[in-house]
Amino acid sequence: MIRVLFVCHGNICRSPMAEFIMKDLVLKAGLSSQFEIASAATSTEEIGNPVYPPARRKLAEHGIGCSGKTARQLRWEDYRRWDLLIGMDRANLRRMQQICGGDPDGKIHLLMDYTGRPGEVADPWYSGDFDTAWTDILEGCEGLLRTLTAD
């Protein structure tokens, strides 16, 4: 079982989009039984809130649902439970390392590091650009899945 936790600031836009895109990719690849996938926030601002409506709509445009998902904060014990903790930007990585007490096992990575154009997934909460977020997150998840399933 490969356990992947996606993390962003509030857990209402980018990380839940990554969670449900990745779940869709592994389902279509027939690999759902080999993965556990979830998402969390580095902040407490949105705890308990559902996925942000524009993010829900963007997922729905591609036939992906996210009902029942509510924001939760990353916890120290998540570092032990998950194989990979994938952040959306460098600020997320810094906060993830603070919460987890560092990264002694090398589990914390940026999503875009799994693409041919490493960098950050811009926060659509501020930009309103959910199309670019979708493209970046999809490309990152596809690259991550290729990496995790490579022989």
Res 53: pLDDT: 97
CATH number (3.40.47.10, 3.30.499.10, 3.40.50.2300, 3.30.390.10) of 2-149 reads 3.40.50.2300
Ordered strands of the 108-110 beta sheet = 35-41, 2-8, 84-87, 108-110
Domain range list for the chain: 2-149
Report the pLDDT averaged over residues 95-102.
Answer: 97
When pLDDT is averaged across residues 116-129 and rounded to a whole number, the result is 92
Closest CA to 130 of 47, 66, 60, 26: 60
pTM comes to: 0.97
The one catalytic residue among 13, 14, 24, 95: 14
- Taking alpha carbons only, the member of 65, 72, 30 closest to residue 49 is 72
Is 75 catalytic? The answer is no
User: CB atoms < 10 A from the CB of 65, how many?
Assistant: 13
Q: Which one of the listed residues 8, 66, 100, 141 is annotated catalytic? A: 8
